């Protein structure tokens, strides 16, 4: 039995919840509420900005499904992950991307830690700060992931102290992806994306029949090349009537951060991360153009996903192109991420490592 202080103001935390059969942890303060599905990858399912009642996380139309109660209809290695993908924020380790076989093991989509339960322990519970440590071990590769989520009073920010460890006795490669998807009502064609100066690399092959980007083209932020010779401004988010689905990647940044500002609402979502760990920012543009399984034209969201590697073909292709993250036996790599809300209507010039958003002078 865990006896927590059941405060009704300032910071509070509870690990005594269950949602659709999944152990669920809730952290909140005066400004934000974060819901974590401990029994499904420690996914951040909901991130609500309380003053505006805005949830930044995208919700898939099929919602939360308990993997323990789901029997895949085939052995297709995409299905077990996608069938239970509820949206939100997943940590994908050690195989971010599409299925392949590595080290003699078949790895499914974004394998393998975000469809299994994680241990959850409340490590701090005070009115000034609450923290929960989540941890899990892989099944087919000996990687352990641990992340401590913290909220502090008066701050609209979630602080994530994360560590990935190779518990094997041989060197192993890894793709580490923070799979963050945002959606309506926050996301709209009134949104503007800010990132540090960087290079854009389009996915090397079409992502879908509705893809419009030129395969493998490279360009300077913010303009990306299309297959028909146009250039589109990546700093502007189209609406669902765009009806496209594409993948691109930003790299060469001096700092690791991005911010999305809804200029109509005066509300934004910002993430900072260590660029020495996450050298790529994946840009998944699911703008109403996902047809057939699992989208069926229903989905409007973007993924802005810090990753160690390029591209979403999985670990083997990252090994082949030299971007996989190498771990020695017993080696641990740590990363501190800050994610949260901000208000304002001016251009974002930087997001500091502590999550503070710096706006341009009026």
**How many structural domains comprise the chain?**
1
Distance CA 297, CA 75 (A): 25
Distance CA 192, CA 268 (A): 9
Q: Which domain holds residue 327?
A: 12-359
On whether residue 7 sits in a domain, the answer given is: no
CATH code for the domain of 344: 2.70.98.10
**Is 229 within a domain?**
yes
Q: Kindly state whether residue 262 falls inside one of the protein's structural domains.
A: yes
Q: What is the pTM of this model?
A: 0.97
Residue 108 lies in a domain: yes
Per-residue pLDDT in tens (0 to 9) along the chain, 362 residues: 566 778 999 999 999 999 999 999 999 999 999 999 999 999 999 999 999 999 999 999 999 999 999 888 899 999 999 999 999 999 999 999 999 999 999 999 999 999 999 999 999 999 999 999 999 999 999 999 999 999 999 999 999 999 999 999 999 999 999 999 999 999 999 999 999 999 999 999 999 999 999 999 999 999 999 999 999 999 999 999 999 999 999 999 999 999 999 999 999 999 999 999 999 999 999 999 999 999 999 999 999 999 999 999 999 999 999 999 999 999 999 999 999 999 999 999 999 999 999 999 86
Beta-carbon contacts of residue 257 (< 8 Å; ≥ 6 apart): 195, 196, 270, 271, 272, 273, 350, 351, 352
In this predicted model, what pLDDT tens digit does every residue of 273-332 receive, in sequence order? 999 999 999 999 999 999 999 999 999 999 999 999 999 999 999 999 999 999 999 999
Q: Tell whether 2 is covered by a domain.
A: no
Q: Which residues pair with 99 in a beta bridge?
A: none
Dist CA 127 CA 149 (whole Å): 15
d(Cα 315, Cα 169) in Å, to the nearest integer?
A: 19
Does residue 6 lie in a domain region?
Answer: no
């Amino acid at each position: 039995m865990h006896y927590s202080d059941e405060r009704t103001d300032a910071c509070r935390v509870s690990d005594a919840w269950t949602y659709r059969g999944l152990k669920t942890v809730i952290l909140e303060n005066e400004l934000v509420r974060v819901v974590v599905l401990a029994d499904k990858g420690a996914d951040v399912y909901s991130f609500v900005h309380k003053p505006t009642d805005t949830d930044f996380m995208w919700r898939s139309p099929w919602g939360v499904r308990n993997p323990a109660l789901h029997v895949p209809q085939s052995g297709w290695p995409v299905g077990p992950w996608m069938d239970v993908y509820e949206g939100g924020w997943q940590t994908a380790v050690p195989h971010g991307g599409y299925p392949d076989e590595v080290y003699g093991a078949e790895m499914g989509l974004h394998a393998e830690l975000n469809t299994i339960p994680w241990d959850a322990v409340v490590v701090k519970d005070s009115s000034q700060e609450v923290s929960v440590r989540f941890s899990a071990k892989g099944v087919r590769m000996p990687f352990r992931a641990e992340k401590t989520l913290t909220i502090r009073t008066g701050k609209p920010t979630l602080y994530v102290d994360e560590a990935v460890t190779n518990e094997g006795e041989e060197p192993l490669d890894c793709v580490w992806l923070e799979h963050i998807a945002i959606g309506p009502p926050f996301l709209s064609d009134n949104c503007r994306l800010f990132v540090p100066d960087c290079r854009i690399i389009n996915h090397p092959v079409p992502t879908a029949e509705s893809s419009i980007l030129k395969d493998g083209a490279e360009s300077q932020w913010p303009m990306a090349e299309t297959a028909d010779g146009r250039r589109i401004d990546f700093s502007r988010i189209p609406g669902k009537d765009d009806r496209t689905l594409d993948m691109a990647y930003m790299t060469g940044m001096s700092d690791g951060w991005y911010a999305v500002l809804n200029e109509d609402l005066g509300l934004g979502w910002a993430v900072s991360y260590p660029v020495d760990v996450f050298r790529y920012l994946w840009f998944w543009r699911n703008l109403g153009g996902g047809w057939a399984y699992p989208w069926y034209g229903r989905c409007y969201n973007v993924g802005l996903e810090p990753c160690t590697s390029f591209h979403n073909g999985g670990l083997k292709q990252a090994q082949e192109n030299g971007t996989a993250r190498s771990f020695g036996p017993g080696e641990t790599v740590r990363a501190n991420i800050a994610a949260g809300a901000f208000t304002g209507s001016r251009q974002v010039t930087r997001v500091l490592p502590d999550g503070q958003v710096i706006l341009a002078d009026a």
